[in-house]
Structure 1
């Protein structure tokens, strides 16, 4: 049976806990994949961990975010939600930088930039000319993956579930 993540318009605290658990699971998978030599898969999981963490932490900044994402969003023929809640639920990659900037956490901002680089690397791999990917070799990728994994684990170390 597949468990779905609670939506922020239904129960914000449960949604936040679900996303934080997801972040920890993704960080753990990133570490496992890295240990198994699956570097591109690991990079993708590190990115997903940061994305889930940003979605979870955004709940605490909903009021600030609502100023940037006003209005409503139709999600089904009968269901309309606040646009800010839809953004928090979907957490589009195209909005990560913006959301983290609004949240105002400088360490998270740095880790998000690294996660976005890892996301690009997942799809493009190494690039000696640094035209498609910012990574030319394995060592920096591994270092960035471990940095994001440690960030997620340290931020969520007191999480009880």
Structure 2
């Protein structure tokens, strides 16, 4: 049986628990992939861990975030939700930096920047000239993956 992540407009506490659990799972996979030499897959999982963590954390800042994301979002002909809840639910990559800035946690902002770099690396790979990737070597990628996974594990309590 596949368990679906709860929607924040239905049960925000359950949604937060689900997203934090997801963040831990993704961080664990990132470390496993890294240990197996699957560095691009590992980078992608580290990014997903941060995305899930920020989505879960955003629940604590919903009222503040609603000032930045006002209005409604139509999901179905008869289903409309607050736009802030939609943003929290899908946590688009294009909003991660902005949401981390609104939350105003300097360490989180750094981790989001690293995660976005890792996401870019996942798609572009290494580039010694740093023209299509910010990473010229694997050692820097590995260091960033571990920094992200350690951050997630330190911030999320094991269920």
- Give a deviation string over 1:30-81, Cα, whole Å, max 9, x none: 0000000000000000000000000000000001100000000001111000
Question: Following superposition of structure 1 onto structure 2, how do residues 6-155 of structure 1 map, counting pairs within 5 Å?
Answer: 6-155=6-155
Alpha-carbon distance, 1:131 to partner: 1.2
RMSD: 0.6
Structure 1 gaps of 5+ residues are: none
The total of aligned residue pairs comes to 159
Distance in 2 between the 1:2 and 1:78 partners? 26
Give the secondary structure class of the aligned counterpart of 1:75: strand
Distance in 1 between the 2:136 and 2:19 partners? 32
Structure 2 gaps of 5+ residues are: none
Distance in 1 between the 2:78 and 2:26 partners? 33
Alpha-carbon distance, 1:129 to partner: 1.3
